[in-house]
Amino acid sequence: MKKLMILPAIIFAAIVIFKVFFIVIDISEQVVITQLGSPKKSHTNPGFYFRIPVIQEAVYMSKKLLEYDADPSEILTKDKKTLVIDNFCKWQIEEPLKFYLTVRDRRSALNRLDDIIYSEMRNELGQHNLIEVIKDNRDEIMENVTKLSREKAKEYGIYVHDIRIKRADLPTQNERAVFERMKAERNRIAKQYRSEGREEAQKIMARTDKEKAIILAEAYREVQEIKGETDAEVIKIYADAYNKDPEFFDFTRSLEVYTNSLNKDNTKFFMTTENELLKTFQEGK
């Protein structure tokens, strides 16, 4: 009979222990104790803890690093350019009691983070031009956004580790206009390059023509000098030969004249009997 009563007692004791005590096993978890729905205290370390049955409940929360991926939103820059910003955030529940008291659950926390980050992002990007956001100062801008968002998120028991921009695009309606401006700019640069190329080509051609004229003039001068020297040498040779036998020289020159003349077709010559050529022919008989 006693054995039959021990078993229910054990079961009852186990139920009481289960209701009165709870265990935090996972190091990545933390617990908020609520009393009739109102948060009273928190436990952030693993252990064996007490609670009042029925009245108090244990609400488990994660200590892990969580991610918030925001929906793309439009933001206006300092130079009045609209950007579609797609950003994400790494955050953590730092003070579970304050977290439960202010936002209660993760869904509400994400909504609150969305408001904070968008507000700070809009204010910070509104102080910078488009090129600074896209290229020059993005890291510095995001560090400022992270710092300011972290300060505001503290009052909700949230610690913001980092905020980054995944993509920064122009709105769809602006893409065509930007493309046309880029195309016009590239065409302008291409025309400038072609114009500069033609100008440079003309300079090269003019310089080449000048060098060509100088080379031809120099070559002509050298040819004329060589020709003059050659003619002078020929005249000297003729003169030397003439001085040695003037009569023979006259005779050979006459033969050249007659040879050139007699070779012409339909040419008639009238010679007197005193002609030196006829005399030569007669002497040869």
231-285 pLDDT, tens digit per residue, is 888 878 877 777 776 766 666 776 676 676 666 566 666 666 666 666 655 554 4
Which one, of 74, 92, 97, lies nearest residue 84 by Cα? 74
49: part of which helix (H) or strand (E)? strand 47-50
For residue 87, list its beta bridge partners: 165
User: In three state form, how does the secondary structure of 56-74 look?
Assistant: EEEEEEECCCEEEECCCEE
For the chain, what is the mean pLDDT?
Answer: 81
Q: What is the pLDDT of residue 284?
A: 47
130-169 pLDDT, tens digit per residue, is 888 877 788 888 999 999 999 999 999 999 999 998 888 7
70-99 pLDDT, tens digit per residue, is 888 888 888 888 888 899 999 999 999 999
Instruction: Spell out the residues 6+ positions from residue 139 whose beta carbon is closer than 8 angstroms to its own.
Output: none
106-139 pLDDT, tens digit per residue, is 999 999 999 999 999 999 988 988 888 877 788 8
Q: Is the pTM of this model over 0.75?
A: no
- CA gap 163, 141 in Å, rounded: 10
184-200 pLDDT, tens digit per residue, is 888 889 989 898 888 88
Alpha helical stretches, state H, the chain:
2-20, 96-102, 106-125, 130-131, 138-153, 172-244, 246-262, 276-284
